[in-house]
Chains A and B, each alone.
Chain A
Amino acid sequence: SAVISQKPSRDICQRGTSLTIQCQVDSQVTMMFWYRQQPGQSLTLIATANQGSEATYESGFVIDKFPISRPNLTFSTLTVSNMSPEDSSIYLCSAYPPRNSYNEQFFGPGTRLTVL
């Protein structure tokens, strides 16, 4: 199994500010994923973050709004920039531990963001 932790667990932010969410995995992983879960909704993939290359963003998500860093094989950050109330969501990071044949994707506990 893998343990994925996120910081902060929750935050309340003002409109127009930015928040950086950290994701730490307890083992080295090739790919990390960032998801958004809006209130009462399912998960939507924001981007895939590979170490040593730029993140790949899904349709509807852009780097200027959600810049991602991936400095090493165990860590990634997602920044939510110039926030508005519509950005209020749970943000989750995810990864595949390399030793489980890439079938079981593990998720962090999520960061609950409220934008006022």
Chain B
Amino acid sequence: DAKTTQPPSMDCAEGRAANLPCNHSTISGNEYVYWYRQIHSQGPQYIIHGLKNNETNEMASLIITEDRKSSTLILPHATLRDTAVYYCIVRARAGNMLTFGGGTRLMVKP
């Protein structure tokens, strides 16, 4: 699975959009981009995934660049409860185990 690079930390004001970038420049054609988050003292939680089209669900939007070498997770209206570590993971096949990188620690501030 391709390696990902994320900024170690970000701040966001409550109510504003949080845009979390991820670089995966070595991604191959059959690899998906997954996002998980881990709120303090909890297990990771799935957010969203995509292959090449932009995706949206009730939690977030995922924007993948046309060359697929990077992506952005968007939390449209961040709340204090969105404070967590966000992991961007690239994986070739559904059902394979997830390999976690360092993630981005998002701090939502009032």
A115 contacts chain B at the CB level, 8 A cutoff: no
B44 contacts across to A, CB distance below 8 A? 43, 92, 105, 107
* Contact yes or no, B97 A101, CB < 8 A: no
Q: Given A42-B101, A103-B49, answer yes or no on A110-B95 (Cβ-Cβ < 8 Å).
A: no
Which of A42, A101, A106 is the one whose CB lies under 8 Å from B87?
A42
Chain A interface bracket (under 10, 10 to 19, 20 to 34, 35 or more): 20 to 34
> What chain B residues lie within 8 Å of A106 (beta carbons)?
43, 46
| Whole-angstrom distance between the Cβ of B1 and the nearest chain A Cβ | 12
* Minimal Cβ-Cβ distance residue in B for A56: B97
| B: contact size bracket | 20 to 34
If over half of B's interface residues share one DSSP class (helix, strand or loop), that class is named, otherwise mixed; here it is loop
B94 A103 Cβ-Cβ under 8 A: yes
Interface core residue of A92, A101, A105 (most chain B CB under 10 Å): A105
A48 proximity list for chain B (CB < 8 A)? 97
Say yes or no: B102 contacts A105, CB within 8 Å.
no
Contact for A45 among B43, B95, B97, CB less than 8 A: B97
A4 to chain B: closest residue by CB? B43
Chain B residues positioned under 8 Å from A105 (CB to CB): 36, 44, 46, 98
Residues of B within 8 A of A43 (CB): 44, 98, 100
User: From A33, which residue of chain B is reached at the shortest CB distance?
Assistant: B97
Q: What is the bound-complex CA distance between A116 and B91, given in angstroms?
A: 37
Which A residues are in CB contact (< 8 Å) with B99? 45
- Nearest chain B CB to A76's CB is how many angstroms away? 14
Please list the residues of chain A having a beta carbon within 8 angstroms of any beta carbon in chain B.
Answer: 4, 31, 33, 35, 42-45, 48, 92, 94, 96, 101-110
- Give 28 CB contacts A-B under 8 Å: A4-B43, A31-B95, A33-B97, A35-B100, A42-B85, A42-B100, A42-B101, A43-B44, A45-B97, A45-B98, A45-B99, A48-B97, A92-B44, A94-B43, A94-B98, A101-B94, A102-B94, A102-B95, A103-B34, A103-B46, A103-B49, A105-B44, A105-B98, A106-B46, A107-B43, A109-B43, A110-B41, A110-B43
